[in-house]
Structure 1
Amino acid sequence: MRSYQVAAETITALVTATVAGLALALPIDFGWTSQTSALQLDLLAYSLPRAVSAGVLVAMIAAVLLTTLGSTKVSWGTTLGGLLVLLANHSFGHAADPHSSLSTMNFIDSLAGGLVLGALGAAVLHHRLPAFGWTLGILISLLLGSVNPVPRIGGGIDESSILHWHATDMPPRWMLVLAVVLVAFGFLTYRNRPATQRLSIELPLAPILAGVVLVLITLASAEWLARHGGNQAGIGLAVVTAVGTAMIAAMLLPGRDGEIVLLAVGLSAVGAATVAAELPAWSIPLLVAVTAFGMWTGTRVGAPRACLAAAIVLGVSTALTSDTDMAWLIVGGAAIVSWLIGFGLTSARPRYVPSRVLGTMVIFVPSAVLGMRDYVARGEYALQSPGHAAVCTVTSGSTETPGWTAVLVAAGCLAGLLVLRRARPLPATPDTATGTSADD
């Protein structure tokens, strides 16, 4: 493939993944959102984590089906179809009135965004530079989402937020139109590209099962801790569950492909504890550059164990400095997390495309640490009635608890990584001996 075609495909993957990631992760928002009822906003907040998780599952299933089919034309066509659904959904939303269902449109947005990411992954992840653009676009969408706070996992938006609501309209329609044009060009250009693997009549269910187990149990743990984060036994159970499900998913994937899942779970836990709830807009270009540098480093030095070890150190630092309000420390922590995630996602080298899709997409799913952090910030509301008087009391947890919880999750993932490598050693052949990672 010529250099200009590689560049065009890389740019297409970058822009499209950014657009789809924004549609998947952020709540849908229009100019009339502040005029809708509090019930609609609460339903949107309550359903957002489930919509994101559903979109991640759609991405995983689409990647498995399209990779098994082995048709480049179908992969690009599915990507284009998902973008057209996104564009139609946003166009309808702009023309709708405040009585329209935000939660329904948000579910459509998340499902279509997941479909685009899964189909695009099946189309471009076989090629190095487009795969780099796909991964970077996903991480950029997460960073852009960090500028604007999203509703809590526990649900609910307070009245002050409604009074000062500023519509974000992410992704904007001009980005959707640009992505549609780029993908349409890609469909016309690459539709006759030879398939990267032969058509298979057998549908591999293990990767789909791995995604279902990992996503659903992770979401359930996050929602439970968002309401009951003060229970030490519950926190311990959530940690064991997070590590256990990550290990099960890793073992269900072929070979050592599960490394990327363990990396993603450990890094997302530390990131959920470290990154501020709302980052300043000026920090986003810096964090994008740091993320890209981390990805570039990961493509040259594969060190998954060192990456998780560094994440554990960062988690300890986060727990010890949980009460700080120094801007340089907050942005610096976010920069380190960005570098580690970029490094970790490219440091792992899965051979099967859906494995990379699952490992990358799992960072969208709200983790148990994020649920714990939400509980610490919001507290647990309880009604007491001494003398027939109802009083609302709030009991908050320790601000350092999310950091220590993230440390335990990352340490468990590191242990799981060692177990996976021991259970599935690389074959002693000249080809693999020269292609192993730096910390094998």
Structure 2
Amino acid sequence: MRRLRDLVEVVTAFLAAAVAGLSVMMPVDFARVSGTSALHQYLLVVNVPRADTAGAISAVVAVVLAVSLGDTRLTWIAAALTGVALLANAVLSRNLDTDLSLTTVNYIDSIFGGVLLGLIGAAVLRKRRTGTAFMLGAIASAVLGDLTELPSADSTSSGLGNDSPPLWSIVVVVVLIILSTCWHQRRRVELVPDRDAPFGSVVAAAIISGSTLLAAEWFAGHRVGTLPAIMAVAATVLITMMSAFILTGRDGSIVLIGVAYAAAASAIVAAPRPSWVLPILLVAVAAGLWAGDRWRSPLAAIGLVGALAFFAAVAPISDTGQLVPSIGAVALAAIAGYSYGATPPRLIQNRVVGIAVLFVPSVVLAIRGANDNLIGYSHLWYRSPATEHNPVAGWAALAIAGGCALGLLRLRAVRPATPPRPVNSLRAQRDSLVEDQ
């Protein structure tokens, strides 16, 4: 029975993180959007970055509150209620046909998805196996969400089902969370005080998420040349460094690497690609996590991100078919896994902060759309095979990676390396505090 419970918790951690991440990054009922009017698509897609930002901040707020309370039973109950709300929102959205209502539903979906991600993270990240499963699901959802192609008349699904996440996957997750909640009902509540200020994570997430979105939308609204691009890149680097230093110890390393990775991922050539590549991406993320955990080197991670950005700037795209996009997608997945495996933050809530930065669209997306004639750059929130490749976006991503690398070096120079706090269980955390006293 013990082994069965552990197995169910591992599966729950993976599926819940994946479903929550996809709920944040992708619109409600993706297939139905592709068959509607251009206005319907525009109203929904143009609001996706703001909904993503709301979901990212919600995830961090949820994990901080849950970790601060230290009550695993209450955390599981809250996760179960959030899962039910997410399922209800997905079911009700099928009966809403107006443009405004579907856009509003997407905001609700992203916020509930973010809350679910934060609560599950607080519940499972203390154990190694469930924590690894959570990271795999969260990172894979961010990668798959980033590689979503633009809705069109020829695309009737996202490659994951008629909806993304599919309705059946939400049902499965809700059942698994409720089952895990029942198993935790009789466990003794153990409150573990944290002597670090937990709400610093919320401040850092709010700064990096809100400022990144503002910088991206500002550039999209100006599009007047090289100087605004330089200003946007410089602002992104400075804001990221400030947010990284708000976090305790060297936990800010994951923010610096995450922002650099998000920029490189936005510039990489990854469409069109064959559908059979999707399961390979999951394997690539898992392999990257394993390699990162075995050979931990934040500097190597930021170096790989820089190489990815360089690839985005110089990769040939003419007459290459699906070869280069497939290579780019697999590289994205593997480097994401390694980056997060090689840079595990000391505090649980900061691991969720590192995931949350992947949900906010980077300013590089705005640079990619600098030559468009549309208002804003809403269609470039998704991959479009018809979009002309812009090497400037790759060079901008490389500049962001270089700036974040300098920030990483500075952080490691001024913040001492401290041994990680035991996070295998609540009991281990309690015992460590007793030893300190």
TM range (shorter): 0.7 to 0.9
Matches within 5 A, 1:98-117: 98=98, 101-117=101-117
Distance 1:119 1:184 in 2: 13
Runs of at least 5 residues in structure 1 that lack an aligned partner in the other structure? 152-160, 383-395, 432-440
In structure 2, give the amino acid aligned to 1:247. Answer: M
Q: Percent identity?
A: 35
TM-score (norm 2): 0.85
2:220/2:367 contact within 8 Å kept = yes
Residue in structure 2 matched with residue 435 of structure 1 by the alignment: none
3-state secondary structure, aligned to 2:94: helix
Q: Contact 1:269 / 1:369 at 8 angstroms: preserved in 2?
A: yes
Distance change in 2, residues 1:229/1:130 (3 Å) = farther
Bigger radius of gyration among the two: 1
Indicate the residue corresponding to 1:386 in structure 2.
none
How do 1:36-185 and structure 2 match up within 5 A? 38-98=38-98, 101-145=101-145, 148-150=148-150, 161=152, 163-164=153-154, 166=156, 168-185=162-179
Q: What is residue 416 of structure 2 aligned with on the other side?
A: 425
* Equivalent position amino acid for 1:25 in 2: M
Residue 284 of structure 2 corresponds to residue 290 of structure 1: yes
**Per-residue CA distance 1:52-106 (angstroms, 9 max, x = gap):** 1001000010111110010101211121111111111111122334566111110
Letter in 2 for 1:423: V
State the partner residue of 2:333: 338
Q: Is the 8 A contact 1:136 1:292 kept in 2?
A: yes
Match of 2:427 in 1: none
Deviates more, 1:74-83 or 1:62-71: 74-83
Structure 2, unpaired ranges of 5+: 377-386, 423-437
Comparing 88-97 with 174-183, greater Cα deviation is found at 88-97
Distance, in Å, in 2 between the alignment partners of 1:81 and 1:65 is 16
8 Å contact 1:30–1:94 — kept in the other structure? Answer: no
Tell me the distance in 1 between the aligned counterparts of 2:290 and 2:44.
37
User: Is the deviation greater in 187-196 or in 79-88?
Assistant: 187-196
**CA pair 32-254 structure 1, distance change in 2 beyond 3 A:** closer
Q: Kindly indicate whether residue 261 of structure 2 is the aligned counterpart of residue 267 of structure 1.
A: yes
Aligned match of 2:242: 248
For normalisation by structure 1, the TM-score amounts to 0.85
Change (3 A) 1:135 1:100: same
- 2:10 corresponds in structure 1 to 10
* Cα offsets for 1:211-243 (capped at 9, x unmatched): 110000111122223343452111111111111
Number of matched residues?
406
Call closer, same or farther: CA 1:111–1:330 in 2, change over 3 Å. Answer: same
Other structure's SS at 1:281 match: coil
Aligned counterpart for 1:350 among listed residues 334, 345, 351: 345
C-alpha change, 1:375 and 1:193, in structure 2 (3 Å) is farther
Once residues 54 and 375 of structure 2 are traced to their aligned partners in structure 1, the CA distance between those partners, rounded to angstroms, is 29
State the distance in 1 between where 2:286 and 2:361 align: 23
> Cα deviation per residue 1:281-335 (whole Å; 9 max; x = unaligned)?
1111111111110001111111110111122123223211254452222211221
Find the aligned partners of 1:262 and 1:416 in 2 and give their Cα distance. 7
Query: What does the per-residue CA deviation read over 1:29-65, in whole Å, with 9 as the maximum and x for residues that have no partner?
Result: 2665467554443221221110010010000101111
Asked whether 1:313 is paired with 2:313, we answer no
Query: For 1:182, what is the secondary structure of its paired residue?
Result: helix
SS of corresponding position for 1:198: coil
Conserved? CA contact 1:227–1:375, under 8 Å: no
Q: Secondary structure at the match of 1:28?
A: coil
CA distance in 2, matches of 1:30, 1:270: 25
Contact kept in structure 2, 1:323 and 1:399, CA below 8 Å: no
CA contact (8 A) 1:322 1:399 kept: no
